[in-house]
Each structure stands twice: as C-alpha cells, then as structure tokens.
Structure 1
Amino acid sequence: MKFIMKSILRNILMLSVLFAGSAMADTVAFTQAAFAKLQLEGKPILVHIHANWCPTCRAQAPIISSLLKQKYFQTVTSLRVDFDQQKDIVKAFHASRQSTLIVFKGNKELGRSLGDTTPDGIEKLLRKTL
C-alpha cells in the first residue's frame, strides 16, 4: 500500500510540473527592454511575479493561459518575472511575494492582485487593461 501511495504521489507531481510548464507557454519571460517597448507602444500588459515552486503561481498559470487565448484578451502581453532569479525587477515592482499580478496600459499601472486564483478575479484584473 505504501508503494502504491508513493507511486500515485510521484505521478501527480510529474503531471503538475508538466501542466504548469505548458500553461505558461503563452507567457514571455520578462526583460526590461520588452516591458519598455510595450509601455512605449501603449500596449496592455500583465506582469506575473512567478516562482516555479509556488503552488499559487501554478494555480494561476492555466487560468491566465486560458484567458489570454480568448479573443477579448489577445492584445494583452503577459510577462513573467522569475521571483527567485530577478530580485531587482521584483523589488522595482514593489512586489513582496510571488503570485503577484500587475496590469498596465502603457506606462500606467491599472491594478494588481496577490495570490488570486479565481478565474473571475483574474479576468476582472485583465479587463482593466482594455
């Protein structure tokens, strides 16, 4: 019985890692140059402060991916900031934790949320960019 439980848990973990990776496929890694260009062009932007080990970030990923595929949100560019590797960027956004979502329209920050994993909440935040 113990072996079966370990096997099930290992398979669940592997699937969650695979699922999280594929859900973030439409999100681009944050660079200051890309962010500045999008701001200059007045584009709608989602900045996602993300950590691979974060269960909340993993829960947000498929929701964000699904919303960005909808025709209504196709103009939104999602930029992912690596919470562990891009500490200077995290600090510049005044983000104290991973799973922070920040939306911009050009140079103006229009809203942010921390730890929201509800489709309605994330959609409401994204709507602010349009």
Structure 2
Amino acid sequence: MFDRRSSLGILALAAALSVAPAFAASLQPFGTANFEAARGKGAVIALIDASWCPTCRAQKPIVTKLLADPKFAKVAAFAIDYDSEKPTLKALNAPDRSTILVFKGGKEVGRSVGDTREETIAALLEKAL
C-alpha cells in the first residue's frame, strides 16, 4: 500500500529519471551486457585500463576530463579492465592496455594505443559524436 511519503518518493525518482541523460558521460565499470547494449544504440568509448600501467594512469584523467564536456553527455564510456577481461579484449581485437576504442552506431570508428596527449585523445573521442 502506498502512503503519501512513498508517493512523494516515487514522484521525485520519476522526475530525476526524466531529466537524466541516456548515458552518464563518465567512465563506467565494464559489464558485457551494458557495453553491448550501449554499443548497439549509439556512441560508445572504451578505455582498456590496468591499474598498474603508467600510461593508463595518464590517460584516465584526460578521458574523464574530456567526458565532462556537455557535448559528450549522450556517450556511454566504459573502463575495461585489462587483467580480468581477456575474452572481451580478444573479441574487440584490443590486445594492449592503454587502448582507447571509439564506436558509433555499433561500428568501431577509431582507436588509439598509448596516446597521452589531450588534443589527440579529444579528436579521437569526437569521432563518437
């Protein structure tokens, strides 16, 4: 049974969801189902990340900063763990850490390996738009 308090809570949640973007423009933890669903619908960025990799540690804040730009609001962005997602990396033909993959309309439209320059990473991410 709904009381006034639960009804207000449901209305607040519905209002929040109605103004939320389709995807949060920040790096999300990888999940195969979520990644494939997002890739099939639109713009997706995948960062192949390893916590012990110095290049990955340099890329991650750059990618995160760029994704904060409102133009990437509808881009789904995933951090794929290099050490635990080997089958996914093989399926994506991405055997190296510090790889950034960009998909648009379900197809790969760009990739970069080992790049830590903000301007070239920005140009790569814009291919998703």
TM tier, smaller: 0.7 to 0.9
Equivalent position of 1:39 in the other structure: 39
Superposed CA offset, 1:14-69 (max 9, x none): xxxxxxxxxxxx3111111111211232x210011110000000000110111000
The alignment status of 1:116 with 2:109, answered yes or no, reads: no
CA distance in 2: counterparts of 1:102 and 1:45, whole angstroms: 8
Coordinate RMSD, CA, aligned: 1.0
Question: Where does 1:94-109 land on structure 2 (aligned, <5 Å)?
Answer: 94-109=93-108
CA distance in 1: counterparts of 2:39 and 2:47, whole angstroms: 16
CA distance in 2: counterparts of 1:36 and 1:56, whole angstroms: 26
Equivalent position of 2:128 in the other structure: 129
Which letter maps to 1:113? Answer: S
Task: Give TM-score scaled by structure 1 length.
Answer: 0.76
Question: Where does 1:44-55 land on structure 2 (aligned, <5 Å)?
Answer: 44-55=43-54
The alignment status of 1:63 with 2:62, answered yes or no, reads: yes
CA distance in 2: counterparts of 1:107 and 1:76, whole angstroms: 13
The alignment status of 1:82 with 2:81, answered yes or no, reads: yes
- Shift >2 Å, 4+ stretches: none
CA distance in 1: counterparts of 2:93 and 2:109, whole angstroms: 15
Q: Number of residues paired by the alignment?
A: 104
1:50·1:99 contact (CA, 8 Å) conserved in 2? yes
Shift of 1:73: 1.5
Structure 1 residues not aligned, in runs of 5+: 1-25
Larger CA Rg, structure 1 vs 2: 2
CA distance in 2: counterparts of 1:74 and 1:114, whole angstroms: 24
Equivalent position of 2:91 in the other structure: 92
Structure 2 residues not aligned, in runs of 5+: 1-25
Task: Give TM-score scaled by structure 2 length.
Answer: 0.77
* 3-state SS of paired residue (1:128): helix
Shift of 1:95: 1.2
Which letter maps to 2:29? Answer: A
Which letter maps to 2:119? Answer: D
